[in-house]
């Protein structure tokens, strides 16, 4: 007697796809990269245009020169503004274009391997180090603040921080560290901004207080 062929059908259990975006806030990370990268790109582009105009006409008054403290003209003509022998904003144009492209790709559902996130983190870390060098130079050597430069400062810090968290999330050996940081992911960025703003207020307090 031949055994009857099994007719039971196994139910298919839906499998949820892995998150397309690693990080503490998967839905917001692409937008952070897109918006932050776009603002940085626009600021770098505006600085480049202003620098070209200043080269063409030494008497040109940059649009971001507002008062003795907020003055792009006082900053972009210094040696620090061309640290590598060419205007610093050219670095920003290339770097922020990569950031925007990454954010758009993530929003479209792309998944990047660990080495990509590690590279983005390393690049943004270099950007943060350079930004803090420029912050120190602006506050304590040049004695003026460039509004467009400050836009770059503001966006570079969170781009680095959340890129680093995304790298930790994808790294098997660092998942525990990521899990601890994820709960308070915004705190370091807020404290970072508070310190930088406090330094700027302290450095130019005589001027700020005169406006009150």
Helices (H), the chain: 29-56, 72-76, 89-107, 114-137, 147-170, 175-182, 187-203, 205-210
DSSP lists the bridge partners of residue 124 as none
Instruction: Look at residue 26 in the predicted model and tell me its pLDDT.
Output: 64
Cα radius of gyration (the chain) = 23
β-pair partners for 145: 70
Q: What are phi and psi of 47, to 5 degrees?
A: -65, -40
Q: Whole-model pTM?
A: 0.84
Nearest 5°: CA angle at 73, between 42 and 86? 65
First vs last Cα of the chain: how many Å apart?
Answer: 101
What lies within 8 Å, CB to CB, of 172 at 6+ separation is none
The ranges assigned to domains in the chain are: 29-210
Domain 29-210 has CATH 1.20.1440.130: yes
Other Cβ atoms less than 10 A from the Cβ of 41: the count is 22
**How would you write the pLDDT of the chain (212 residues) with one tens digit per residue?**
455 554 444 345 444 344 444 444 567 889 999 999 999 999 999 999 999 999 899 889 898 899 999 998 889 989 999 999 999 999 999 999 999 999 999 999 898 998 999 999 999 999 999 999 999 999 999 999 999 999 999 999 999 999 988 888 777 656 666 666 677 788 889 999 999 999 999 999 998 888 87
CA distance 5 to 70: 83
């Amino acid at each position: 007697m031949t055994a009857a062929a099994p007719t039971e059908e196994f139910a298919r259990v839906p499998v949820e796809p892995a998150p397309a975006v690693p990080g503490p806030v998967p839905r917001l990370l692409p937008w952070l990269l897109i918006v932050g990268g776009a603002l940085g790109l626009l600021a770098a582009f505006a600085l480049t245009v202003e620098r070209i105009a200043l080269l063409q006409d030494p008497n040109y008054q940059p649009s971001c020169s507002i008062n003795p403290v907020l003055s792009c003209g006082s900053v972009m003509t210094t040696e620090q503004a061309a640290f590598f022998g060419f205007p610093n904003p050219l670095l920003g144009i290339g770097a922020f274009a990569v950031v925007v492209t990454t954010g758009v790709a993530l929003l479209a559902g792309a998944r990047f391997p660990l080495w990509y996130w590690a590279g983005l983190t390393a690049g943004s870390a270099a950007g943060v180090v350079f930004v803090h060098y420029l912050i120190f130079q602006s506050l304590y050597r040049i004695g003026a603040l460039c509004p467009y430069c400050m836009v770059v400062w503001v966006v570079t810090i969170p781009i680095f921080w959340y890129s680093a968290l995304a790298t930790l999330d994808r790294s098997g050996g660092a998942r525990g560290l990521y899990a601890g940081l994820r709960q308070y992911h915004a705190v370091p960025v807020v404290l970072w901004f508070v310190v930088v703003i406090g330094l700027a207020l302290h450095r130019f307090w005589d001027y700020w207080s005169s406006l009150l």
